[in-house]
Amino acid sequence: MSKIILITGAASGFGRDTAETLAAAGHKVYASMRDVAGRNAEAANALRAKGIGVVELDVADDTSVARGVAQVLSEAGRIDVLVNNAGFASAGVSEAFTADQAKVLFNTNVVGVIRTTKAVLPAMRAAKDGLIINIGSILGRVTFPFFGIYGATKFAVEALTDSYRYELSQLGVDVVLIQPSAYPTNMYSAIQQPADAQVGAAYGEIGAIPGKMFETFMGMFQSENAPNPHDIATAIVSLVDAAKGTRPARTVVGQPFGADAVNAATAPVQQGVIDALGLGFLATIAG
């Protein structure tokens, strides 16, 4: 059955590939992005040429999110699926990032999810149906040194996803999480770097580690066995097509670095928590 799907951050990378893949599978897709008439005009036109709707939407801005979601609802009448994909990464000595840099990162990666989810939920609740797919990261489960601030945003998305899933389960809305590993996308070319270079330099050899890690990732991405970013779109299509009540809460995609083990170990603990609260029924989505 064809669904109406809104994807954030769809100008490039996982978002654009997912938009094109879902559209090819027969769904009506709305790809949202910033600056549709400017720097993303080429991407917007290419998506339109494939029959994909394009929406101006900045997840870091309340008014922009409200306007973009209203546009989709006006044109399509409903939103069956929201893919919260928009976000960016940061890497470097944590102390060398400014508080303002962290605020920008959290405003996009965490508050952005809250904004878009809040905007689509009234229509989904009214329909007693819907699916929200949050794009997290394995770094929301395991920690890489020098990715701490970015990882903190993804740990936050983990908590949000679980809470939304419980709170919305009896209203017919399913909320799940994709946990991608490292993939060759433009995320790395646009990665946030620490603003305080002097602090990084004060770390000496330790401060040079992030650059070496980056070189390792770049080498891996250029090898014959480089991971294929299309894996993410494939996983999302599977979640969209799955029957309500059968979707896994979390899906690791790519090299897990132990995130899959953390998922498996945490699941029964989390179930025990809500059972202890007398709320175990919230773990099962209503039909």
Q: 105: which 2 tokens?
A: 């990162």
Angle, helix 13-24 to helix 41-49, in steps of 10 degrees: 10
Please give the pLDDT value at position 90: 93
Segments making up each domain of the chain, as ranges: 4-283
pLDDT exceeds 70 at position 203: yes
**Mean pLDDT to the nearest integer, 95-110:** 97
Please name the fold of domain 4-283. Rossmann fold (3.40.50)
Question: How far apart (Å, rounded) are the C-alpha atoms in residues 195 and 96?
Answer: 6
Helix (H, G, I), strand (E, B), or coil: what is residue 53?
strand
Average pLDDT, the chain: 94
Angle, helix 148-168 to helix 99-109, in steps of 10 degrees: 30
Whole-prediction pTM = 0.95
Catalytic residue among 30, 150, 166, 183: 150
The yes-or-no answer on residue 166 being catalytic is: no
For 250-287, what is each residue's pLDDT tens digit? Answer: 999 999 999 999 999 999 999 999 999 999 999 999 97
Q: 188: which 2 tokens?
A: 């790395």
Contact 277/204 with Cβ under 8 angstroms?
Answer: no
CA atoms within a 13 Å half-sphere pointing along the CA-CB vector of 167: 11
**Banded pLDDT at 14 (limits 50, 70, 90):** very high
For 158-179, what is each residue's pLDDT tens digit? Answer: 999 999 999 999 999 999 999 9
